[in-house]
Amino acid sequence: MRHINNDGHDGHDGHDGHNSKLQVLIQPNIGLDSDVRHSVVGILNNTLANEAVLTLKTRSAHWNVSGAGFLELNILFNSQYEQLNDISDEIAERARMLGGIAIGSLQEFIKYTRVEEQPGVVPDILRLLADHEASIRFLREDARKCTEEYEDEGTFELLVSVMRLHEKMAWILRSYIENEPIHGESL
Ligand SMILES: [Fe+2]
C-alpha cells in the first residue's frame, strides 16, 4: 500500500526495492495556488462520488429491467452506464492533473456522494431521472464556483461538459415517461 506523508514523500522504507528519497511529488505549476487546487480536487471527488453512485444505480436498472420495452430499456440503461463510466474517468484524471488523489473506494464514494444510495431498490426511470436532475443542480453550482471563486476554467469546462451529458440523459429518460407535447403549450 502506498501512503503519502505530510511532507509529500512516499511512505516506503525501501524494502520493496523503491528508494523513497528519490520519490518526490512534483506540484503542478499551472497558475493555480495549492489551496485552490485542493478545493477544486474536493469538488471533483464529490462529483466522482455522485457519478459512481449513479453509475451503479444505472447498472442495476440495466441488470434488473423487465416488462414491456425490455430490450430497448436494457440497451438504453447499458449505454447510459457506459457514458457515466467514461465521464468518471475524465473527472478522476482532472483530480490528478491538479496534484490530488482521485477517490476510488466504495466507502469514500458513500461518504462523499450527494446522490442517495437505495439498497434493496431497483431504480426505475423516475428515480434515475431525479438523480440526474439533482446531479445537474450540483454541477451547475460547482461549475459556477470553479469559475467565479477559483478561476479554474479547465475544471469549469469539464463540469459543464459533465452537466450537459446529464442534461441529455435526463431528457432521454424524461421522454419515456412524459406525454406527447401539445402543440403551442408553453413551458
Ligand atoms: Fe448486460
Give 114-149 pLDDT, tens digit per residue. Answer: 999 999 999 999 999 999 999 999 999 999 999 999
Q: Residue 75 Cα, ligand 1 centroid: separation in angstroms?
A: 8
- Say if residue 14's pLDDT is above 60: no
Ligand 1 center to 88 CA (angstroms): 19
Amino acid 177: pLDDT: 87
Helix (H, G, I), strand (E, B) or coil at 24: strand
Of 3-17, 18-32, 93-107, the one with minimum mean pLDDT is 3-17
Tell me how far the alpha carbon of residue 60 lies from the centroid of ligand 1, in angstroms.
10
Write down the pLDDT at residue 162.
Answer: 98
pTM of the model: 0.84
Rounded CA-CA distance 128/75 in Å is 15
- Residue 48, Cβ neighbours under 10 Å: how many? 24
pLDDT tens column, 153-176: 999 999 999 999 999 999 999 999
* % the chain with pLDDT above 70: 83
**pLDDT at 55 (0 to 100):** 98
Scan for cell 453509475, then name that residue.
55
CA of 2 to the centre of ligand 1 (A): 34
The position carrying cell 467565479 is: 148
C-alpha 64 – ligand 1 centre gap (Å): 10
Band of the pLDDT at 179, cuts 50, 70, 90? confident
Ligand 1 mean position, distance from CA 62 (Å): 7
Q: Which amino acid is at 153?
A: E
Average pLDDT over residues 60-81: 95
In Å, how far from its chain's centre is CA 27?
A: 24
pLDDT on residue 152 = 97
Q: Is 15 exposed, middle or buried (0-12, 13-18, 19+ CB in 10 A)?
A: exposed
Encode 170-179: b = buried (16+ Cβ within 10 Å), e = exposed: beebeeeeee
Confidence of residue 178 (pLDDT cuts 50, 70, 90): confident
| Distance in Å, CA 85 to ligand 1 centroid | 14
